[in-house]
Structure 1
Amino acid sequence: MRNLIPSWVRVPVLFFIIFGLVEYFVNSGKQPAFIEYPMVLLFLILILFVIIAIEAIVSSLGNILYQSLDEEGKARFDAKVDKTPKFITWIQNTYKKSLGQKPLQKEHEIILDHSYDGIRELDNDLPPWWTYAFIASIIFAVIYLVRFEVFDGYTQYDELDTEYAEAKIALEEYKKTAKDLVDFNTVELLTSASDLSNGKTIFETNCVACHMADGGGGIGPNLTDENWILGGGISHVFKTVSEGGRNGKGMIAWKQSLKPSEIAQVASYVLQFQGTTPAKPKDAEGDIWVETIE
């Protein structure tokens, strides 16, 4: 089986199998294990050297055993080697062609005349894979130059603007399904029937004891007049409900028991009391608040 699969296939396949097992069993978070843990990298390098050493030793032993055979034994071995499957033979031949090397028997055809201390040089051509890659890079460079320099193709700034626009749209879509991301800086007045209905339920469950069902006020201030202790408008009301009233007195902070989306709903419902006439209105507290447009 070793003769059917060349060493240049066996070594990387075996190494990447071990590499995959290491990545699977070593929990390194988002980064690869060999980056997160330097010792893992050293281990993989050691494993690679061990695999190469084993291949070299086995190959040397195989050559020694082959040379120890008699002519009949060598012939039988060569006959088995010649039975390599066509697919494996095609891979081996393709690999050799990609190197563009002359076989050992024909190296005398490309040997150069000069020598250095008895060492002579071969005039090998560049490997075909390198030549084709070089030609492909030139073609790509020409196309790139014409596309982006001559015809003013899109730039990285254009790509950035496009990504910003797409991110803004995605963020708006996300906010529609992630209402609990809202705070007093980003909250908007809710007007849909479902939001106001939920706000009414929250108000009647938690707020009527202090503000009365019609918002006229009791322990808490009147919600129907124009006066506000901590400011009116959806942003201030949201913050007051979330963080609570004045220190030492006033309403508790409801952020511990209500979600941001629920606070937005009840704050929007509270603002529905503005301008209504309660049964027993409490005297105005705080200052008249007028919303300003910035």
Structure 2
Amino acid sequence: MRHAIPAWIRITVLFLIIAGALEYFVDSGDNYAFIEYPLLGGVLLVILLFLIAAEVILGAVEKIMFQSLSPEAKERYMAAQQKRMEKYDLKRIYRKLAGTRPISEEGELELDHNYDGIKELDNKLPPWWLYSFYLSIVFAAGYLAYYHILGGESQVDEFEQEMLAAQIALEEYKKTAPDLVDADNVELLTDAGDLEEGAAIYQVNCMACHAADGGGGIGPNLTDEHWILGGGIKNVFHTVSEGGRAGKGMIAWKSTLKPAEIQKVSSYILSLQGTTPANPKEAEGEIWTE
């Protein structure tokens, strides 16, 4: 078998197998392993050189051993080599797979048909085609049994499951991605650091209308239990993001603040509930209860 395959093919196949194994077992993320780890590229180069050297050495050793044989042994060795070469001869393998017969034997295949000198041969179907056909029948039977009798998952079922898994993964990602937060998934922040950042945002953007202590001015009082557009983190987030009542002057801060910043300032506003401002404005709206 070794003498039937050229050396460059043997070396290439062995090298690709080794490189593929290293690529499979080495965790290199989205990059190729030899790119992620340059040292691995050097190792692969050494392996390639070793394979080439081994092929050269084996060939030299084989020649030396052949020259040391007696004439009779050389003859037997050459005969054995010739037999092995015939066994793995590509043309012979092709003829076997194709089921063809030599032209000299076509007379045995002729049918008693003659169309203006054109003769018909009784050739059998190529074995590769015939076995492929049998395999397709077995596959079709298994496919029918799995999907139509045993209730296997169809492509539609697999698609729906993948979409559901993707939706779950997206929701989980949104929980850890602050700038993807919206009025539907926003949560009240209670960490002191988040509230301090929210207070800083409030002082810059909200104080002018709602007073520094949230007691209200142009805008309503933020410290009482009354809310015009609804209380709670979701309603407050939506009001800050989309703006207040039309014609009342409150802009939609979503064009200026990031979702994470809106969440922090909304949480800070809710932390003002129950505090006592210096000059509280008269309550507006309705009492909000969760």
Alignment partner, residue 99 of structure 1 = 98
2:248 is paired with a residue whose SS is coil
CA deviation profile, 1:63-103 (whole Å, cap 9, x unmatched) = xxxxxxxxxxxxxxxxxxxxxxx79x844443343322223
TM-score after normalising by structure 1: 0.59
Alignment partner, residue 220 of structure 2 = 221
Alignment partner, residue 110 of structure 2 = 111
Matches within 5 A, 1:1-294: 90-156=89-155, 158-160=157-159, 162-184=161-183, 186-193=184-191, 194-285=193-284, 287-291=285-289
Misfit runs of 4+, over 6 Å: none
Alignment partner, residue 44 of structure 1 = none
Counterpart code for 1:211:
H
Following superposition, the deviation at residue 224 of structure 1 comes to 0.8
Following superposition, the deviation at residue 129 of structure 1 comes to 1.4
Identity, in percent, stands at 57
Aligned mates of 2:194, 2:134 — CA distance in 1: 65
Counterpart code for 1:290:
W
Q: Contact 2:189–2:264 (CA<8 Å) still a contact in 1?
A: no
- Judging changes above 3 Å, is the alpha-carbon distance between structure 1 residues 190 and 139 closer, same or farther for their aligned structure 2 residues? same
- Judging changes above 3 Å, is the alpha-carbon distance between structure 1 residues 169 and 253 closer, same or farther for their aligned structure 2 residues? closer
Following superposition, the deviation at residue 260 of structure 1 comes to 1.9
Q: Contact 2:211–2:217 (CA<8 Å) still a contact in 1?
A: yes
2:171 is paired with a residue whose SS is helix
TM-score after normalising by structure 2: 0.60
Following superposition, the deviation at residue 256 of structure 1 comes to 1.9
CA deviation profile, 1:103-133 (whole Å, cap 9, x unmatched) = 3232222121211222111111111111111
Following superposition, the deviation at residue 234 of structure 1 comes to 2.6
- Judging changes above 3 Å, is the alpha-carbon distance between structure 1 residues 273 and 101 closer, same or farther for their aligned structure 2 residues? same
In the alignment of these two chains, the number of paired residues is: 205
2:268 is paired with a residue whose SS is helix
Aligned mates of 1:92, 1:219 — CA distance in 2: 94
Q: Contact 2:190–2:267 (CA<8 Å) still a contact in 1?
A: no
Aligned mates of 1:152, 1:187 — CA distance in 2: 37
- Judging changes above 3 Å, is the alpha-carbon distance between structure 1 residues 201 and 111 closer, same or farther for their aligned structure 2 residues? farther
Following superposition, the deviation at residue 150 of structure 1 comes to 4.9
Q: Contact 1:190–1:196 (CA<8 Å) still a contact in 2?
A: no
Q: Contact 1:217–1:282 (CA<8 Å) still a contact in 2?
A: yes
Counterpart code for 1:190:
L
Aligned mates of 1:250, 1:164 — CA distance in 2: 42
Following superposition, the deviation at residue 154 of structure 1 comes to 4.1
Aligned mates of 2:89, 2:287 — CA distance in 1: 86
Aligned mates of 1:113, 1:192 — CA distance in 2: 96
Following superposition, the deviation at residue 155 of structure 1 comes to 4.7
Counterpart code for 2:253:
W
Q: Contact 1:187–1:264 (CA<8 Å) still a contact in 2?
A: no
Aligned mates of 2:203, 2:92 — CA distance in 1: 84
- Judging changes above 3 Å, is the alpha-carbon distance between structure 1 residues 187 and 197 closer, same or farther for their aligned structure 2 residues? farther
Aligned mates of 1:96, 1:245 — CA distance in 2: 84
Following superposition, the deviation at residue 242 of structure 1 comes to 1.9
Aligned mates of 2:177, 2:107 — CA distance in 1: 76
Alignment partner, residue 20 of structure 1 = none
Following superposition, the deviation at residue 215 of structure 1 comes to 1.5
Q: Contact 1:199–1:268 (CA<8 Å) still a contact in 2?
A: yes
1:216 is paired with a residue whose SS is coil
Aligned mates of 1:98, 1:188 — CA distance in 2: 67
Aligned mates of 1:93, 1:195 — CA distance in 2: 78
2:188 is paired with a residue whose SS is coil
Counterpart code for 1:288:
E
Q: Contact 1:187–1:234 (CA<8 Å) still a contact in 2?
A: no
1:121 is paired with a residue whose SS is strand
Counterpart code for 2:227:
W
Aligned mates of 1:229, 1:146 — CA distance in 2: 63
Aligned mates of 2:169, 2:263 — CA distance in 1: 22
Alignment partner, residue 51 of structure 2 = none
